[in-house]
Amino acid sequence: MSITVRYQGTYTIKPETATWGGQLPLSELDQIGTITHVPIIYFYKLPLEWLHPADAIFNILRGSLSRVLVPFYPLAGRLKRLDRGRLRLDCNAMGVWLIEAESEGTLNDLGDFCPSQEFEQIVPSVDYTTPIHELPLLLVQVTKFKCGGLALSTTISHAVADGPSATHFMNEWARLARGEPLSVEPYYDRKLLWVGEDPSGVLLPPPNLEHSEFNHPPLLIGHTKNLEQRMKKTAMALLKLTKTQVESLKKAANKERACNNPRPYTRYETMAAHIWRCACKARKHKPEQPTVLCICVDARSRLQPPLKPGYFGNATFDVVAAGTSGELVSSPLRCTSSKIREVIEAVTYEHVKSTIEHIRRQPDLTMFQDLHALGSTQGLFYGNPNLGVVSWLTMPVYGLDFGWGREIHMGPGNHDFDGDCLVLPSSDEAGGLVVAVGLQIEHMEDFKKFFYEDIVE
């Protein structure tokens, strides 16, 4: 059933008190990857005492958003595009957008909350024809439903915050709304990620490692461009796995594991391998088809010393595992898991430094940026025959309580680019998982089939 949303107003929310103003340098890791906005959505069933007066919840969110923008002041600023694809952040307190809306529909009309066309009305729309120096870095939409339900959706510029930083902000916002103090203060010192130089002020040496993750991903055999694949219609699915199914996959991945690899494969290594193999089968690749899996790694704990909790910005970047579809499909699951582990374990402190310096020396960063959301046919594209699998397994994405209880569902907004996958912990069962996957429509049903059939319990 379709729903209709009526927009009641859009408000510019600025920090409650004066904040630091000026230009905040962006690190090299802020400048690459997905530099557009990333949507997240929370759904709530409100207790009866919160249903009246109708504007009470909106006022709480509005006031607490203004307060949380004081410590998180970069979100109230604006980006400025420089030459050669580079960006700068101006902390000018121009504010964020808060949208108020209501619907005659009910939460039941949204079914299992899998992102669909209906989500376009309840997730803030970002108009990228707006000059970038005018575009908010954070947009929030509050949609009230006839049943007493509520949707709280945010979309945050990935040039300013990665997943851990975005969830840090959301959880601190909820704490302030409940009348509690901040748990972890954010800090913004980009020198810790060597913006142009290392902490001692000495230029870093040229990178001595290969960085294949910055090469354009493989194309389908017989193709010289990926334009046709970029333009194909896509869909998104939320696929749930029970704890038993997850354990069955891990058992299969760890069966006859090499004696020189005694540590069992993790949930992520197992699930990413399973998703990669299923995608190859669903896409009906030729056996010799080259394919890569894009893996997002967090540099926070890999630095020396590690970044302390509260760093707000991007400290994640991508690495890739490579193979051929025939090799992946015909080999045991442990072989694909091994490929993934090998790439992740190669991300050492030296690798992080080399990656940052590699980016810094590029004459133009546009080719390293995912501009698909902007309608661009340039930049990196991890659709067919490739894909990316991002883990949200260690992020505190659940239990976001603004004072009226935790959410009944949390998930990505319309995140349906071909090959775009997220792995989340289940909110229903400890040990269970949810996989949010975006694929071309023609491949989705086969993917679902293989996804469940290939789990031997």
CB contact at 8 A, 414 and 424: no
| Alpha carbon distance 264, 424 (integer Å) | 20
Q: Determine if the peptide bond prior to 309 is cis (ω within 30°).
A: no
| Alpha carbon distance 389, 15 (integer Å) | 35
| Alpha carbon distance 302, 386 (integer Å) | 27
CB contact at 8 A, 327 and 339: no
Indicate the residue type of 41.
I
- For residue 136, give the 3-state DSSP assignment: coil
Pairing of strands 87-91, 78-81: antiparallel
- Catalytic residue chosen out of the listed positions 90, 189, 401, 446: 401
- Catalytic residue chosen out of the listed positions 158, 285, 372, 443: 158
Q: Which residue has the tokens 């694909």?
A: 336
| CA neighbor of 43 nearest in space, from 404, 424, 416, 433 | 404
| Alpha carbon distance 262, 285 (integer Å) | 33
Environment class of residue 49 by beta-carbon count within 10 Å: exposed (0-12), middle (13-18) or buried (19+)? exposed
Indicate the residue type of 144.
K
- For residue 84, give the 3-state DSSP assignment: helix
| Alpha carbon distance 430, 405 (integer Å) | 20
Kindly give the interhelix angle for 441-453 and 267-282, rounded to the nearest 10 degrees. 130
Half-sphere exposure of 315 (CA within 13 A, CB side): 26
401 is an active site residue: yes
Q: Which residue has the tokens 């991508």?
A: 318
CA angle 138, 45, 435 (to 5 degrees): 65
| CA neighbor of 123 nearest in space, from 369, 373, 428, 420 | 373
158 is an active site residue: yes
The residues carrying an active-site annotation are 158, 401
